Amino acid sequence: GFFAARMDRLAAAELQATVAALGTYDGVKYHPGEDCVECVKDLIRFLRRDDENHEVRRAIGDLGVVKSDLVHIIRDHSKNRELFDVTLRLLVNLTNPELLLFKEELPEDKETRNYYLQIQNHRQGYKEAFIDKELWAVFANHLRLLLKKDWEERLEDDKLVLERILILIRNI
């Protein structure tokens, strides 16, 4: 099914509502909803509470939120520091290699292996969503600005953003 079979209806509805409230892409520009930052933070919280079957992660993958919302938020709203930072955090989490999620080993049993393959498939789609020149220009610009600062000038936040961009690039 569209959602992981065992994810309860309420959680699935909450997840869908959160994704719907992120905003809309009109084909040219992304228009964040008024609670967009909170919605992204909620998605991070949902992932933190995910179970060993990665139901939330798989449901987010099924919803296609990376392609429909997150890459557009990064590309079109990189000047909004808070929105950029939380979206970057979420993208790093979602693009983590599936082997990391499954403790570095391919699952033995059929059901868990299917979950693994589903997440792998979603990640393949994320890579395709990142084929966007403007998106990479945003990352390059952020890296350039952060690296231009003297080490002493860099805030802890700057170091985190720098690290997250590099991790995201590695993941993709």
pTM of the entire structure? 0.92
Cα angle 127-27-72, degrees, rounded to a multiple of 5: 40
The answer to whether residues 74 and 88 touch, using CB atoms and an 8 Å cutoff, is yes
Q: Which amino acid is at 84?
A: F
Instruction: Say what percent of the chain tops pLDDT 70.
Output: 96
Q: List, for residues 43-81, the tens digit of each pLDDT value.
A: 999 999 999 899 999 999 999 999 999 999 999 999 999
> Among 131, 157, 134, which Cα is nearest to 145's?
157
Instruction: Please report the pLDDT score of residue 96 as a whole number.
Output: 95
The answer to whether residues 115 and 62 touch, using CB atoms and an 8 Å cutoff, is no
125 vs 122: CA distance, rounded Å: 5
Q: List, for residues 13-52, the tens digit of each pLDDT value.
A: 999 999 999 999 999 999 999 999 999 999 999 999 999 8
Got the DSSP string for the chain? --S-TTS-HHHHHHHHHHHHTTEEE-SS-EEE-TTHHHHHHHHHHHHHT--TT-HHHHHHHHHTHIIIIIHHHHHH-TT-HHHHHHHHHHHHHHTS-HHHHTTTS---SHHHHHHHHHHHHHHHHHHHHT--HHHHHHHHHHHHHHHHS-TTT--HHHHHHHHHHHHHHHH-
Mean pLDDT in residue range 130-139: 96
Length of the chain: 172
Residue holding tokens 């990665």?
Answer: 54
Mean pLDDT in residue range 132-137: 96
Q: Which amino acid is at 23?
A: G
